[in-house]
């Protein structure tokens, strides 16, 4: 069926053993043909060593075995006859129930191409095809993917086509007995599939809300009319949302015309009975809508408009850029803002979520250690490999990057010549929806605003000074109220409380660090009063501290560390605050949020 130069065939081998079987046919191999499996997936900046799940690799020509030589952890070489197709057979173990790799059991199959498709070196830009074989797939399974179909059956098994290797691996595949629905946004067909939903799942509401998000974002990038002469057409002809609902989990990964999403089952919208009173939208569902908004915005901002360093991905090693603060941070700014513009949250909800982001950055000592540009470059070793010291050593390019976007947007609006919305659209046009650099952003800012923003970029992006959030928010009609912070923030701690109070991180310069706490400690109890009249209490939740301490400014602490009991003295600070945003001038706020 396939006339592509590179052809893959994938089938379910043994669901209980979590094995896919693959055949790769190279029509015209090189004399010394090399193949390799990627070590990372674009959008998730960590070397994940996908080759660890590859097994039983063998090569054949004309039905006879050909010797394979392994070159390194993820690459192989075959000495070939160049006038005969080279056929490789191998298996992939799939038991990672995330959005990044591959999963297979008797209930569901899922994979990203970077986890399963060997790259044929030297032929990456030739046409590729994929056959999804229904043999051994459990009865009733269907297929959903953003790949272009060539010849498929009613359940989606059959042949698909990709123009090159990058297009092939940028379209994950969902298999199983999933819920499916569809809608059309700005003339573009969209499909939504959901695996793992409970019977109470309200698919129609999810479709309606996702439709509102897609309409708002297409309008953001391309105006009210699809294909307007000034803003052009949307870059995708169709789109697929793949959502896996699980008991515990959260995440998303963007692709050119699809996205893989993960959420908690309880956060899906639920059908109401006739006698039910419509409840307030749950925070978990709002967070899911924000995730959908975020990943869909990436259709433009990172999948097309992308760092110049990502013009051609190198799948065998880390790909470095200092621009993740723009591509992830600015997307994080717009995900909730576009929920507001789509009418899916109100002003109060938006301001609450923005306030949470501000407080999260303010409570991260690492923002004083590393700039958000450095954090982007170091994502491979810091953001994606967090440990107990991460909050002290770095800052999230998602959260601080979103606040850089906020500061730019409010600054531009205050000066009255343009907005960040216009900057984003002009960048899209300037870079022709392709690779960009920080210089491109600087040029567009200067052109639209009538002045250079070099000082702000140097300080906000490449420096570690505080962002001018309070004056900018105040100028936009908001009041910034400072209130006592929760006890964990006041003490400078991050803890887990599932089975006692366990210390995850001790924040730099906080009261807990001064008292001598260490990550890994279990906080057993506290004492109040002097040595002669001290009262001891067992601690099971951090909030109990204020119940037992009352107005006391210093308490004794008992912690377990390496099975040793240690006594510490802890001062209870009163001056640590958290921000709460409220609208003071409704008209100014409306001009921004609407």
Domains of the chain: 6-176 (2.60.40.3650), 178-270 (3.30.2010), 300-472 (1.10.390.10), 487-575 (2.30.42.10)
For the residues 139-153, what does the mean pLDDT come to? 97
Residues of the chain with pLDDT > 70, as a percent, come to 97
Q: What is the pLDDT of residues 30-52, one digit of tens each?
A: 999 999 999 999 999 999 999 99
pLDDT beyond 50 at 113: yes
CB atoms inside a 10 Å sphere around CB 440: 16
Q: How far apart are CA 94 and CA 539, in angstroms?
A: 42
Residue 189: per-residue pLDDT: 98
Radius of gyration of the chain (CA): 27
pLDDT beyond 80 at 248: yes
Q: pTM of the entire structure?
A: 0.96
For the residues 423-435, what does the mean pLDDT come to? 96
Residue 226: per-residue pLDDT: 42
Q: Work out the angle at residue 287's Cα, subtended by the Cα atoms of residues 281 and 289, and round it to the nearest 5 degrees.
A: 80
pLDDT beyond 70 at 274: no
> What are the angstrom distances between the C-alpha of 552 and each of 443, 505, 526, 533?
56, 25, 12, 14
Q: How far apart are CA 494 and CA 503, in angstroms?
A: 6
Burial class of residue 505 in the structure, from the number of CB atoms within 10 Å of its CB (0-12 exposed, 13-18 middle, 19+ buried): buried
Q: What is the pLDDT of residues 453-492, one digit of tens each?
A: 999 999 999 999 999 999 999 999 999 999 999 999 999 9
Q: Is 526 within 8 Å of 536 (Cβ atoms)? A: yes
Q: Can you state the angle between helices 438-449 and 399-415, rounded to 10 degrees?
A: 20
Reported as a pLDDT band with limits 50, 70 and 90, residue 227 is very low
Instruction: Specify the range with the lowest mean pLDDT, choosing from 21-35, 107-121, 227-241, 384-398.
Output: 227-241
Residue 40: per-residue pLDDT: 98
Residue 277: per-residue pLDDT: 64
Q: How far apart are CA 301 and CA 435, in angstroms?
A: 10
For the residues 236-254, what does the mean pLDDT come to? 98
DSSP 3-state of 328: coil
Tokens 């409970």, located at residue: 198
DSSP 3-state of 510: coil
- Provide the β-strand partners of residue 141: none
Reported as a pLDDT band with limits 50, 70 and 90, residue 375 is very high
Reported as a pLDDT band with limits 50, 70 and 90, residue 2 is low
The helices-and-strands tally (H runs, E runs) of the chain is 18, 31
Reported as a pLDDT band with limits 50, 70 and 90, residue 550 is confident
Q: Can you state the angle between helices 283-297 and 329-341, rounded to 10 degrees?
A: 120
Reported as a pLDDT band with limits 50, 70 and 90, residue 230 is low
Q: Is 592 within 8 Å of 586 (Cβ atoms)? A: no
Reported as a pLDDT band with limits 50, 70 and 90, residue 29 is very high
Q: How far apart are CA 143 and CA 134, in angstroms?
A: 10
Q: Is 24 within 8 Å of 6 (Cβ atoms)? A: yes
Pick the more confident residue, 250 or 273.
Answer: 250
């Amino acid at each position: 069926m396939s006339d592509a130069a590179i052809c893959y065939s994938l089938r379910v081998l043994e669901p209980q053993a979590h094995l896919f079987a693959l055949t790769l046919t190279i029509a015209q191999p090189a004399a010394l043909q090399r193949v390799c499996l990627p070590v990372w997936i674009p959008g998730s900046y960590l070397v994940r060593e996908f080759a660890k799940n590859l097994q039983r690799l063998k090569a054949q020509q004309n039905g006879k075995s050909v010797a394979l030589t392994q070159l390194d952890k993820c690459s192989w070489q075959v000495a070939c006859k160049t006038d005969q197709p080279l056929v490789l057979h191998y298996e992939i173990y799939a038991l990672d129930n995330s959005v990044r790799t591959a999963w297979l059991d008797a209930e569901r199959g899922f994979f990203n191409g970077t986890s399963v498709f060997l790259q044929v070196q030297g032929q990456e830009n030739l046409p590729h095809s994929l056959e999804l074989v229904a043999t051994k797939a459990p009865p009733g399974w269907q297929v959903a993917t953003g790949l272009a179909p060539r010849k498929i059956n009613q359940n989606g098994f059959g042949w698909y086509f990709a123009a090159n290797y990058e297009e092939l691996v940028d379209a994950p595949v969902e298999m199983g007995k999933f819920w499916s629905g569809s809608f059309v946004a700005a003339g573009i067909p969209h499909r939504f599939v959901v695996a793992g939903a409970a019977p109470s799942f309200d698919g129609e509401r999810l479709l309606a809300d996702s439709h509102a998000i897609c309409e708002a974002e297409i309008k953001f990038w391309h105006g009210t009319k699809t294909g307007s002469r000034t803003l052009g057409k949307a870059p995708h002809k169709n789109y697929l949302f793949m959502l896996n609902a699980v008991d515990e989990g959260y995440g998303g990964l963007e692709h050119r015309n699809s996205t893989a999403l993960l959420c908690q089952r309880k956060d899906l919208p639920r059908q109401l009975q006739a006698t039910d009173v419509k409840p307030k939208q749950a925070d978990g569902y709002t967070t899911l809508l924000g995730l959908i908004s975020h990943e869909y915005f990436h259709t433009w901002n990172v999948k097309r408009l992308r760092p110049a360093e990502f013009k051609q991905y190198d799948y065998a090693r880390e790909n470095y850029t200092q621009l993740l603060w723009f591509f992830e941070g600015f997307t994080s700014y717009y995900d909730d803002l576009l929920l507001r513009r789509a009418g899916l949250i109100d002003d109060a909800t938006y301001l609450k979520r923005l306030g949470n982001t501000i407080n999260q950055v303010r409570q991260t000592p690492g923002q004083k250690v590393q700039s958000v540009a450095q954090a982007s470059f170091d994502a491979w070793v810091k953001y994606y490999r967090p440990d107990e010291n991460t909050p002290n050593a770095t800052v999230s390019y998602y959260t601080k990057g979103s606040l850089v976007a906020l500061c730019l947007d409010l600054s531009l609006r205050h000066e009255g010549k343009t907005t960040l919305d216009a900057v984003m659209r002009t960048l899209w046009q300037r870079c022709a929806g392709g690779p960009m650099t920080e210089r491109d952003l600087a040029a567009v800012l200067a052109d639209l605003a009538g002045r250079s923003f070099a000082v702000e970029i140097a300080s906000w992006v490449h420096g570690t000074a505080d962002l001018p959030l309070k004056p900018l928010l105040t100028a936009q009609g908001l009041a910034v109220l400072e209130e006592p912070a929760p006890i964990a923030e006041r003490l400078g701690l991050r803890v887990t409380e599932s089975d006692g109070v366990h210390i995850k991180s001790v924040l730099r310069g906080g009261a807990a660090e001064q008292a001598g706490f260490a990550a890994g400690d279990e906080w057993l109890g506290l004492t109040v009063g002097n040595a002669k009249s001290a009262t001891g209490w067992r601690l099971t939740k951090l909030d109990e501290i204020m119940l037992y301490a009352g107005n006391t400014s210093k308490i004794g602490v008992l912690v377990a560390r390496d099975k040793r009991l240690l006594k510490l003295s802890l001062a209870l600070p009163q001056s640590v605050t958290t921000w709460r945003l409220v609208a003071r001038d409704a008209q100014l706020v409306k001009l921004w949020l609407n």
